[in-house]
């Protein structure tokens, strides 16, 4: 499926909005896409007249955004995500055929694996136009998404690399910062496969070939994000799902093979001795990633179709497009995860938990401590090793998609003695740990019986007044699930002291409290449970911010000098108010009061 074919299907299904107004690649286009992605029924957006007002550039390449949403998954995965999951499960756990028909079915399934291998072709859609002289990345409508971003970033590029000996191939999706006309920053983090290859080249003192594709079948883009074992070419997964061999061609200036029908290909090499500061960048955590040195891609060629489409995405505070990309990954990879943890029945990675910050697991417990054993297993499996907080329920619990019912189920069975706090690797984007790449992890076993309810619940106003008598810094509070044995009390306060100091005062109210969560005064709303979860699981390091006493405390505040926190704490990712106001005045967007409060910041006209 080419980008043209994808767009045509979107038009037929009335899932595409074409915006022909001249719109700036700097903030305007990304802000429109950001707000649209948050809508209940989001549309795919095609911007046909992108411009760079500051540089007086008019681009002739349209920008396509919000490709992945609840309405497009059936187009991108036409056989159905659950069907793909079942097929993988049957491959991993084949049952012995009992009759001739089942034998034929098994042979049919095994025969279909011939489609996984990339096949070289003479078709060259992605090389209809070849540029090897006067290369200029500014001729592509690359976006600056957020006010504090370090520049423009390619956000939906599939990065193709291979090991030094050529035996292993990787496709990953990493953000790519534009430094100048011929250089890009490659944000492949220390745990990523491409970074492993990079160190092979560095040790050998050789330049590393890299090719980046943009566009084509959206399944290419999703496959690039798939958490496959190192050395497994992500195009294998594309072929497995499509039931056809992915067709590839050799890059013009290096020996990397890429899909023949990509819209745009950027080729080049990395010199392992060349590093440059990359960032800041408003990332999928909803916080800015701070500046760090990363490898540089020196561009040797740009090739593209005669009429290419530029794919881009916006990441930031949820829910956004990555929610649906993550949903597909979560469902399709459940059988693979179960090979490592066979008693894992199901799992969910809520998007407001930023996927790696919170996971809900349903297991079939066989003995005491079984859930904690699975927690350790998960923390040692590929990208699951980045998970910070895992909550376990038994197989009698309800649908994990019913977050209200599951939360109630958890709070009916929660007991502090069943909390495991450990330490391990965390994502490079995690900002809460005291040291980069290593931080606290928490597993909570809620597979036991319902606990006794001994809390004496009082109403919010009465509780607020009692706490204010102890400490005037408290501004607001709200209690959630007051009818369970473990109500959650969210306390918002003006932070002039450690949350732990305030927690110690609250022990005097232990008869009325069970779980207390502390958040800052600014940009939090005690009535917004969805964003509170996002904030808290982002901001805590379990080894430092979970207080276990006669009640449980969780410090979800921003950390700084008061806390003895030595690292730089990043800012929230927010839209720029002046840009939003201008777009609204032009009739291009509608903004709610809630969005103004939670997702828009006044940068004083910058």
Catalytic center residues: 283
H-helix or E-strand containing 7? helix 3-12
Beta strands in 279-418 (DSSP E): 281-282, 288-289, 292-304, 310-311, 344-348, 359-363, 389-394
Structural element, H or E, at residue 598: helix 593-599
Q: Which two tokens stand for residue 483?
A: 């009818």
* Nearest one of 381, 331, 336, 330 to 93, comparing CA atoms: 336
Answer for the pair 435, 541: CB distance below 8 angstroms, yes or no.
no
How far the first Cα of the chain sits from its last, in Å, is 42
Locate all alpha helices (DSSP H) within 341-414, ordered by sequence: 370-378, 403-413
In whole angstroms, give the CA distance from residue 384 to residue 483.
34
User: What are the CB-based long-range contacts (under 8 Å, 24+) for 421-426?
Assistant: 421/542, 421/543, 421/546, 422/375, 422/376, 422/379, 422/542, 423/543, 424/379, 424/385, 425/191, 425/385, 425/386, 426/386, 426/388
C-alpha dihedral sign at 230, 232, 234, 240: negative
Instruction: Quickly count: other Cβ atoms within 10 Å of residue 399's Cβ.
Output: 11
Residue 391 and residue 436: Cα distance in Å, rounded? 24
Give me the phi and psi of 420, to 5 degrees please: -110, 125
CA distance 539 to 286: 11
Q: Pairing relation of β-strands 183-186 and 158-162?
A: unpaired
Helix (H) or strand (E) holding 18: strand 16-19
Compute the half-sphere exposure of residue 253: CA atoms within 13 Å on the CB side of its CA. 21
Q: CA-to-CA distance for 514 and 527, rounded, in angstroms?
A: 19
d(CA 79, CA 242): 9
Instruction: Catalogue the E-assigned strands of 456-571.
Output: 474-480, 488-493, 515-520, 546-548, 552-555
Q: Which helix (H) or strand (E) holds 593?
A: helix 593-599
Strands (E), 426-545: 438-445, 474-480, 488-493, 515-520
Which helix (H) or strand (E) covers residue 584, if one does?
Answer: helix 577-585
CB neighbour class for 452 (10 Å; exposed up to 12, middle 13-18, buried from 19): exposed
Q: Smallest Cα–Cα separation from 31: which of 324, 316, 352?
A: 316
- Looking up tokens 């003895």 gives 564
Please list, in sequence order, all residues whose beta carbon lies within 8 angstroms of the beta carbon of residue 62, skipping any fewer than 6 positions away. Answer: 46, 47, 48, 50, 141, 309, 310
Q: Using CB atoms within 10 A of its CB, is residue 542 exposed (0-12), middle (13-18) or buried (19+)?
A: buried
């Amino acid at each position: 499926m080419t980008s043209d074919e994808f767009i045509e299907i979107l038009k037929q299904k009335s899932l595409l909005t074409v915006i022909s107004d001249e719109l700036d690649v700097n903030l305007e286009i990304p802000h429109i896409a950001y707000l649209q992605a948050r809508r209940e029924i989001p549309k795919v957006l095609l911007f046909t007249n992108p411009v760079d007002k500051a540089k007086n550039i008019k681009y002739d390449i349209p920008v396509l955004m919000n490709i992945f949403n609840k309405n497009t998954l059936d187009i991108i995965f036409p056989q159905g995500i659950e069907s793909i999951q079942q097929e993988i499960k049957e491959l991993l756990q084949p049952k012995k055929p009992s009759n001739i028909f089942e034998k034929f079915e098994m042979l049919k399934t095994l025969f279909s694996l011939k489609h996984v291998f990339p096949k070289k072709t003479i078709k060259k859609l992605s090389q209809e136009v070849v540029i090897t002289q006067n290369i200029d990345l500014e001729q592509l409508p690359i976006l600056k998404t957020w006010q504090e971003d370090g520049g423009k970033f390619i956000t939906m590029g599939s990065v193709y690399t291979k090991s030094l000996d050529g035996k292993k191939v990787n496709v990953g999706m990493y953000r790519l910062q534009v430094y100048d006309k011929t250089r890009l920053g490659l944000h492949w983090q220390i745990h990523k496969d491409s970074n492993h290859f990079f160190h092979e080249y560095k040790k050998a003192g050789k330049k590393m070939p890299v090719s980046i594709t943009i566009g084509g079948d959206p399944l290419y883009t999703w496959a690039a994000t798939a958490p496959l074992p190192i050395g497994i070419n992500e195009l294998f997964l594309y072929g497995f799902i499509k039931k056809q061999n992915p067709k590839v061609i050799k890059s013009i200036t290096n020996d990397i093979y890429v899909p023949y029908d990509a819209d745009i290909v950027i080729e080049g090499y990395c010199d392992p001795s060349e590093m440059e500061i990359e960032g800041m960048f408003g990332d999928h955590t909803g916080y800015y990633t701070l500046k760090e040195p990363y490898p540089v891609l020196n561009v040797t060629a740009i090739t593209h179709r005669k009429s290419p489409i530029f794919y881009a995405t916006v990441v930031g505070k949820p829910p956004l497009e990555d929610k649906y990309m993550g949903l597909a990954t979560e469902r399709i990879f459940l059988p693979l995860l179960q090979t490592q943890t066979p008693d894992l029945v199901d799992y969910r990675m809520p998007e407001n938990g930023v996927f790696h910050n919170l996971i809900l697991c349903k297991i079939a417990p066989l003995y005491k401590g079984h859930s904690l054993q699975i927690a350790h297993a998960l923390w040692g499996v590929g990208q699951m090793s980045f998970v910070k907080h895992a909550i376990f329920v038994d197989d009698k619990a309800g649908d994990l998609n019913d977050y209200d019912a599951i939360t109630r189920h958890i709070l009916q069975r929660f007991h502090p003695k069943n909390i495991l706090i450990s330490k391990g690797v965390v994502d490079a984007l995690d900002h809460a740990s005291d040291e980069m790449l290593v931080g606290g992890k928490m597993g909570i076993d809620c597979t036991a019986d319902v606990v006794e309810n001994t809390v004496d619940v009082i109403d919010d106003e009465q509780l607020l007044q009692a706490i204010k008598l102890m400490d005037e810094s408290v501004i607001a509070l709200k209690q959630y699930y007051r009818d369970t044995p473990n109500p959650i009390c969210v306390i918002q306060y003006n932070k002039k002291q450690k949350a732990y100091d305030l927690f110690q005062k609250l022990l005097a109210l232990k008869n009325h409290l069970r779980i207390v969560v502390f958040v800052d005064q600014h940009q939090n709303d005690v009535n917004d449970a969805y964003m509170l979860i996002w904030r808290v699981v982002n901001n805590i390091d379990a080894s430092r911010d979970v207080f276990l006493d006669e009640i449980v405390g969780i410090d979800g505040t921003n950390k700084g000098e008061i806390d003895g926190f030595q690292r730089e704490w990043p800012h929230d990712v927010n839209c720029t108010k002046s840009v939003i106001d201008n777009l609204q005045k032009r009739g291009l967007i509608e903004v709610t009061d809630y969005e103004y409060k939670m997702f828009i910041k006044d940068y004083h006209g910058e």
